[in-house]
Amino acid sequence: MRWLERARAAWAALRTEPGARRGGVPDYPEWLIGHPFIPPEMLENHREAFRKVPVVSAAISLVQHDVAKLPWRVWYEGRTGKRRELKREDGNLADLLTGANPRQSGYQLRVDTIGSLYTGGNAYWALAYFPGAPTPAEAWCLPAHNWRVIPGANRGVVRYEYNRGGAWEEVREENVVHFPDYNPDDEPI
């Protein structure tokens, strides 16, 4: 029964009255109310919070890699109306998602995409086509804070612009895959 007495004594030492301290250690559950881990000046700048707050970067990194580990499979519906999985061949979408570009694998593209969604709210892939090729040859996840979407009627997109070294350049819509931020207030017009 000695262990039970020690457990009760340890539990009593941990429990404190609200606002009280023991041994200079604050009552953290009470202290956290109204004191988020992210300083107020970083609540609107998620990229800075990712860089400067270890808890935020650890949580986002964990989610990034967990999602990137999930297998991505491409399905299509042929003329018969049955869904079939698209096997990887040179130049098809399954190939593009496996080896995104010369510097990144498909895994790293997915990691960057999820990170961009968490820190910027949106993610953008810029697709690169080689001359004469009907399908994209490379996919690049470019930083979301460098993109600007020019909206059109009925929440459509007129055009995309990318900030390349301080100058905004128009990017053709067929060269952009936009993963928009989820907004529960969006409804069809």
Which pLDDT score, from 0 to 100, does residue 12 have? 66
Pairing of strands 123-128, 83-85: unpaired
Burial of 2 (0-12, 13-18, 19+ CB in 10 A): exposed
Q: How far is CA 71 from the centre of its chain?
A: 17
Q: What is the distance between the alpha carbons of residues 189 and 184, in angstroms, rounded to a whole number?
A: 14
pTM for the predicted model, two decimal places: 0.67
Q: How far is CA 19 from the centre of its chain?
A: 38
State the number of CA atoms in the 13 A half-sphere of 6 facing the CB: 3
Which pLDDT score, from 0 to 100, does residue 26 have? 46
Which pLDDT score, from 0 to 100, does residue 87 have? 83
Profile the chain (189 residues) by mean pLDDT over runs of 10 residues. 69 54 49 53 65 77 87 80 82 82 89 87 88 85 89 83 91 88 66
Burial of 122 (0-12, 13-18, 19+ CB in 10 A): middle
Residues 6+ apart with CB under 8 A from 174: 127
